[in-house]
Chains A and B, each alone.
Chain A
C-alpha cells in the first residue's frame, strides 16, 4: 500500500492581497503559513509588513485579494475568523483604569468565553507572566514591559489558534522580552501558529521556523535561514558559504531587490 503524506493544514493563506494608500503598500501578496508554525515577516521600514498584518487581523480592508484563516474566508466571515485569532501591536492596547484581571475578564467577555474557564485561564496566564502580584492593580502605573505582558495575556486568554504580532518586543527589557519569547514558543509547541514582524533579526533567526522577507509590498524571499541564504545567492559573496547571519542575508536580499527595482 502506498503511503500518502498530507501537507499540514494552512493556518493562513493569502492570495493576491493588495492595499494602496497614496502608493501601493501591499502589492499582490501571496503568503501561506502552516498550522503550528512560527513565521517571521521581515522587511525594511515602509515595506508593508504592518499593513499586511492589519489586513489579516481585520483592522484594514484590502483593495483586492483574499485571506483565509484556518480555512475561514476572513473577508466574507470576519467574525468567525476573529474568533480564532489574536492581535498584538507594538503599542500595548490596554485600559489604564482597569486591572490586569479586569482587562482579561473584558477580553474574555468580548470573545464570549465562559467565565469559569476564562477565570482559570486568566489566573494561569497572570502567574505565567509574573503578573499575579499586580493582578488587582490598575494598569496606569505599569511599565511598558508589564503593559505588553498584560496585552499578551489578553491575546492568549481566549486560546487563539493564530496569533499575529507586530513588533511585540519593541521597548521591552531583556527579562520581559525573554518571558514573551518563552510564552510564544510554548504556544507554538502546543500547536498554535505565530505570525510576527520584528526588526530584531536575532529573534527571527532563533525563533522562526520560516522567515518571509517583504519589500515594496511584495514577498521577495521566503524559507528557512538556509533557504534564504541560497536565495540571496551572489549578493552574499563569500559569506554564503561560510554561514551568513540573517542580518547579512536580509540586507543582501533587500539590496538585490532595490537594484532590480
Chain B
C-alpha cells in the first residue's frame, strides 16, 4: 500500500524510514555486517538486565498499593519521566535548529504542518522507545512474579513519553518566546542535561542532610515523609497505580497524556515552520574578547594545553555536558561537610564516589582533547612529534582533573589523610585508565559531536564505564583494607587490558 504524497501517513513513513536507518547506523556504527554481533550483545545484555531486575524488584512484585510502595514507585516514575523530558527537550531543540531537511521541506509546496505534527509524534515515540528496553526487564520480572496486571506499566511508559514530549515542546516554545531563538538552544540543552541529575542529587542531598546517608530510600521511606504523603485515594498516586495495573488510573493517565500531546501538536505544528525559520536566522553571535593580551612566550606543549583549556572554558554547552558528572560530587561534598568530625564511615563512602566521578570526567575530557580536535590537520602539520602532541593533550586532561578534585582532596586530607591518599591514588589511576582508553579508541570528530562519542565505539564506552566502576570499587575496598583491594584492582586492570586488546590500534598493529 502506498500513501499519497504529502499526507500525514506519507510523512510518517518517511520519518520511520529515516529513524530506522539512523538507529541502525548508530547501533552498528555504520557497519551493517556488525548487526548480528550487535543483536547477540543486546540479547546477552537483556538477559543480564533481567537478572539485575529480579534481584532489585522481584520482592516487590506482590506488594500491596500502600503508601510506602506508592512512594517508591512514584519516585521511580518521576525520575524516569524527568529523564524522558530531558531527552525530549534535546530532540525538540535538534528539530528546531538542525537544518538537515528543513530547507527542503519549507521550500516545497506541501503542507509542512503535517510533517511537523508527525515529527513531534515521532519524538514522543522515540522517547518511549528509548525507555522501554531499559524498563522491560523490570516489568517482565514483575509480570512473571506478580501477575499480568503489571503489564499496565508498558502502557504507562508510552503515556510518559507522550506527556514528556508535550511538556518539552511547551517548554522549548516558551523559551523561544521568552529569551529568543539565539539563547534557547544553549539554555534548553543545558536544562536537558541537568534536569534528571538535579532530581537525584536533590534527593541525595536531602537524605544526607536529614539522615547522614547517601540512600534516597532511607529518606523516602522515613516516617516523616510517609506521614506527609497524600492519602491513598489521591490523584498523585495515579501514575503508580497505573503501573500496578489499576484500570481506571491507567486509562486516566494514558488518556490525559495523549490529550496533552495532541494539544501540543495542534498548538505548535502550524508554527513549527516559523520557529525553524527563526532558528535558521540565528547566526553565531559575535563575541569580542575584551581581554586582549600580547602574544606570550610559550612552548608548543604549553600552547597546546592552553588551547584545550581555553576552548573548553569558552563553550558553555561542552562545559555543561562534560562537567555534568560533577553535579554528582555535590552529595559527597555535602556529606564531607556534614561528617567533618565524624568517624571513617562517611569517608569510606566518599572515596569511591570521587574516583568514579574522576574517571568519568577524564573520559569526556580525554575525548575532547584527543578525538575532538577541530583543526586536526593544523596540529598534525605542526613541527612537533606526534607523541609530543599526545603528551600535551593528556597533560591538559590531567591538569583539569587536578583542578576540579584538588579542593575536595585537600579538605579530605585535613580530616583523614589516609582516605585522601587512597582517593588521590584512585583518581590518578582511574583518570589515566579512562584517558588511555580514549587514546586507544581515538577517532577524529568535531567537538560539537561530543554527544555521539558514546555511540562511536561501544567498547570504549563500556570499558571506560567499567574501568571507572572497577577503580572506584578498588578505592572503596582499599580505604578499609589494602590486601582485600587486590582482587577488585585485578578486575579493573583486566578491563583496561581487555580494552587495549580490543582497540583498533592493536587490531591494526
Contacts and interface: CB of A to CB of B under 8 A. Distances in A.
Contacts of A119: 294-295
A122 B294 CA distance: 11
Interface string A79-101: 11011011101000111111101
Given A85-B381, A87-B381, A141-B284, A109 B310 contact: no
B315 A136 contact: no
Contact of B295 (A96, A99, A111, A118): A118
Interface string B310-331: 1100110000000000000000
B300 A112 contact: yes
Q: How large is the interface on A (under 10, 10 to 19, 20 to 34, 35 or more residues)?
A: 35 or more
A138 B314 contact: yes
A141 B379 contact: no
Interface of B: 283-289, 292, 294-300, 302-304, 307, 310-311, 314-315, 374-385
Nearest to B304: A110
Contact of A141 (B286, B307, B375): B286
25 contacts: A82-B382, A87-B377, A89-B377, A94-B374, A94-B375, A94-B378, A95-B311, A95-B374, A96-B284, A98-B307, A102-B310, A105-B296, A105-B303, A107-B378, A109-B298, A109-B299, A109-B303, A110-B383, A119-B295, A136-B288, A136-B289, A137-B286, A138-B287, A141-B287, A154-B378
A141 B285 contact: yes
Interface centre among A97, A105, A122 (most CB of B within 10 A): A97
Contacts of B294: 115, 119
A233 interface: no
Nearest to B297: A115
Given A87-B377, A97-B310, A111 B382 contact: yes
Nearest to A114: B297
A49 to B, nearest CB: 16
Given A95-B375, A138-B314, A59 B381 contact: yes
Contacts of B385: 79
Interface of A: 57-59, 79-80, 82-83, 85-87, 89, 93-99, 101-102, 105-112, 114-116, 118-119, 122, 136-138, 140-141, 154
Contact of A110 (B288, B296, B382): B382
Contacts of A115: 294-298
Contacts of A102: 289, 310
Contacts of A111: 300, 382-383
A183 to B, nearest CB: 18
A-B residue pairs, 8 tightest by C-beta: A109-B303, A93-B375, A115-B295, A140-B284, A83-B383, A110-B382, A82-B383, A97-B314
